[in-house]
Amino acid sequence: MRANKIKQMWQDGKCVTLGWLSVSHGFTAEVMARLGFDALCVDLQHGTSEMNDVWPMLQAISQTDTVPVVRVAWNEPAPIMRALDLGAYGIIVPLVNTAEEAAKAVAACRYPPVGMRSSGPIRAAQYGGADYQANANDEIVIMAMIETKEGLANLDAICATPGLDAVYIGPADLSFALGLEPRGDNPDPIHLATCDKILETAHKNGIKAVMHCASAAFAAGAVERGFDMVMLTSDLACMIAGARLQLDELKAKTA
């Protein structure tokens, strides 16, 4: 089976860079995949993609050695299994509040006897290799998002969930949980301290911690603090920032 680069980098003690796909288009996915991210996530929760958009986007990513990841819209077995069958090598599950919910997500990603994933890797076997089903349980990465009051209250139990690979911080929803205004790259001391607590609890339980960032500067700080994966930027954010930069420069030069 094709090895999962995320797991290889983690085993080597390296931080993984993750890019984000909010736009539902194969060409956008291909362009982002060719930029050098270690992994790239198709967002089904807040992006414009639907499940029918996933397979051509994963095909585009597969032209490179970038690892294909999917954030599902909700913690439901069917879409998790579907994304895996289409070739996702990593799954991000939002709004995980309890150890039971984390275990449910893990089970959907693992074949029996350790999980409940149904057999039918229609595209995954083409991407992963003929021995995909024999080795998928060891290669697929499952990440649970910690971003609610209940999730924080159950943090240690969630991180101790057998088979869970990482916890993923959603900074905007975490801001809500802390009584703060939702924003990315939140500099509030309470927010930063909470993120560090999530990091420490994850590492204490032998799993990884991921920080969702909005800038290279904040991502660099997260790497220095010990995070194992940083989401750096999205296709949409880059398009907006690039267009705004050029337009503002034109206006300034022609004022």
Residue 46 identity: H
Distance CA 215, CA 72 (A): 23
**Closest C-alpha among 198, 200, 153, 150 to residue 171:** 198
Distances (CA, A) of 110 to 89, 114, 211: 12, 6, 24
Q: Helix 51-61 crosses helix 26-33 at what angle (to 10 degrees)? A: 30
Amino acid at 25: H
Is 227 in contact with 17 (CB distance < 8 Å)?
Answer: no
Residue 145: closest CA among 178, 194, 102, 109: 102
Q: 180 in helix, strand or coil?
A: coil
Angle at 47 between CA 42 and CA 49, to 5 degrees: 65
| Residue 229, strand partner residues | 16, 210
46 labelled catalytic: yes
CA dist 223 and 180 (Å) reads 24
From the list 25, 46, 203, 212, the catalytic residue is: 46
Nearest to 169 by CA among 144, 188, 206: 144
- Which residues, in sequence order, are bridge partners of residue 16? 229
Which residues participate in catalysis according to the annotation? 46
